[in-house]
Amino acid sequence: MSVEPLNETQLKESLNQLKGWEFKNDSISKSFTFSDFRQAMSFLVSVGFEAEDQMHHPEIKNVYNRVELTLSTHDAGNKVTEKDIQLAQQIDNIAK
């Protein structure tokens, strides 16, 4: 998978395919809200396993039932790459 940053066109096309993900500060992020802390933690554990499988790890913020994930690729100067899009797609699948 490429570690080259996506150009503006590629980024826009990718974000159009990802529901709820936003581009800001050279990264993509999304907030998830669950019914309680237990569900939020269950989601985070699943995301953790997927991230480890892909060897690509999100920035995670959790407060009670809310989880915010931010993705960028360190090897590409902390810019958004195809690796981020791929992980975002998997995270959305986990959240379903």
- Name the pTM for this structure: 0.94
Per DSSP (E only), the strands in 40-93 are 59-63, 66-71
> Order of strands, edge to edge, in the sheet holding 66-71?
22-24, 27-33, 66-71, 59-63
**Long-range contacts of residues 51-54, Cβ cutoff 8 Å, at least 24 apart:** 51/87, 54/83, 54/86, 54/87, 54/90
pLDDT digits (tens, 9 = 90+) for 21-46: 999 999 999 999 999 999 999 999 99
Residue 85 has which token pair? 């899009």
Domains of the chain and CATH, by start: 8-95 (3.30.1360.20)
pLDDT at 3: 85
Residues of the chain with pLDDT under 50: none
